[in-house]
Amino acid sequence: MRMAFRTVWYGLLVACLACAWSAPSAAAHVAHADSLDGGAQEAEGAEAQGVSASSEEVLDGAGSEAEGGETPSTGWFDTEHTPTAVATLLFGAILLFFIRSARSGKPLFIRRIAGLEAVDEAVGRATEMGRPILYSPGLDPMEEVATVASINILGQVARKAGEYETRLIMPNRDPIVMTVAQEVVREALTQVGRPDLYNADDIYYTTQSQFGYAAAVCGTMMRERPATNFFIGHFYAESLILAETGNATGAIQIAGTDSDSQLPFFICACDYTLIGEELYAGSVYLSREPLLLGALKGQDVAKAVLLVVLIAGAILAFFGIDIGPYLG
């Protein structure tokens, strides 16, 4: 295992260096090609990745000269994604470094997240009141990372619900999410020695319709009167309908979403809200698994690195220094 881990770690470093080395040549290929038609795509890609306006101009310039039908590429590698590849590999390397540190037993400080600290209290409250817990994984399908993060948190919540012998209700909008959730809850309850508490009928499919799902969840909240509501995942316009209905029933509510447009609604209507990245940290924070804590620490360090890069970029832009051409 350790050997495999080391191989991946060194592999990432080598790949990172290789990508960084190939970037200038790829950029030169883009800037000097006579028959490119990918300029507009390049600019769009650059905008999506947050590249500065000056570098977009460089790419636009390349595009304005282009008239052919060839895609900018060095063959097997799509040079359009070079910055993304470098950033991904660097980030991966940082993560693996901290996971390795965590393996060696080095203590890691993780800041307190109020919404996740409250999970115990929320499950305990439901137990004391003799009422169920309601868990909504959001509207997105299983392939979305927010839904995966939600399912990871579900596993931890189900464990706690099992320990406290509390019923967990989970209406689903996506049948694949429902199937995965049933498996996760069953395993979680088995791990805490309470497989008898598992009831497949409590993790059920409702409808694909957005507001049909909202109506179904609201109806469940009004009839079953859960003491605790979890809204963890990616939500759309129905977020406030769910949170306000839950608020009206007097339930303690913990929400978590990566949708920046829905965050204000959850913050207004819920007791605790996991903001953006806290959603992805949820499972790690609750499980306290050392390896995963290492990854969380790596995530924080990567954010610090990004912050330094952003500040440096802002200073350079302030003084009118354009490093775009050097970066490609």
Chain residues 200-239 in contact with another protein, contact rule CB under 8 A = 200-201, 203-206, 209-212, 214-215, 219, 223, 237-238
**Which span (37-45, 116-124, 288-296, 319-327) binds another protein, by CB under 8 A?**
288-296
Within positions 82 to 121, which residues make up the interface with another protein, using CB under 8 A? 84-85, 88, 91-92, 95, 99
Nearer to another protein, 30 or 302 (CB): 302
DSSP state at residue 74? S
Shortest spacing between CB 90 and another protein, in angstroms:
11
Is 161 a residue that touches another protein (CB under 8 A)?
A: no
Shortest spacing between CB 67 and another protein, in angstroms:
21
- For 159, residues 6+ apart whose C-beta sits below 8 A from its C-beta are 188, 189, 191, 192
Cβ atoms of residues 268 and 291 within 8 Å: no
d(CA 137, CA 135): 7
| Closest among 261, 266, 209 to 241, alpha carbons compared | 266
Within positions 234 to 273, which residues make up the interface with another protein, using CB under 8 A? 237-238, 240-241, 243-244, 258, 260, 263, 265, 267-269
For 146-162, b/e burial (b = at least 16 CB within 10 A) is: bbbbbbbbbbbbbbbbb
Interaction pattern, residues 20-59, with another protein; x per rule: CB under 8 A: ----------------------------------------
DSSP state at residue 38? -
Nearer to another protein, 212 or 325 (CB): 212
Nearer to another protein, 62 or 188 (CB): 188
Shortest spacing between CB 22 and another protein, in angstroms:
11
DSSP state at residue 130? T
Torsion sign over Cα 69, 48, 303, 2: negative
SS (H, E, C) 268-320: HHCCEEEECHHHHHHHHHHHCCHHHHHHHHHHHHHHHHHHHHHHHHHHHHHCC
Nearer to another protein, 64 or 288 (CB): 288
Shortest spacing between CB 277 and another protein, in angstroms:
3
d(CA 277, CA 190): 29
User: Residues 61, 68, 175, 250: which binds another protein (CB under 8 A)?
Assistant: 175
Interaction pattern, residues 3-22, with another protein; x per rule: CB under 8 A: -----x--------------
Shortest spacing between CB 146 and another protein, in angstroms:
8
In which element (H, E) is residue 204 found? strand 203-205
Within positions 131 to 150, which residues make up the interface with another protein, using CB under 8 A? 143, 145-146, 148-149
Shortest spacing between CB 245 and another protein, in angstroms:
8
Shortest spacing between CB 184 and another protein, in angstroms:
4
User: Residues 13, 31, 291, 317: which binds another protein (CB under 8 A)?
Assistant: 291
SS3 229: strand
Angle between helices 277-287 and 290-318 (to 10 degrees): 150
Is 184 a residue that touches another protein (CB under 8 A)?
A: yes
First to last CA, the chain: 38
Shortest spacing between CB 20 and another protein, in angstroms:
14
Residue 137 φ/ψ, nearest 5 degrees: -90, 10
Is 172 a residue that touches another protein (CB under 8 A)?
A: yes
Shortest spacing between CB 289 and another protein, in angstroms:
4
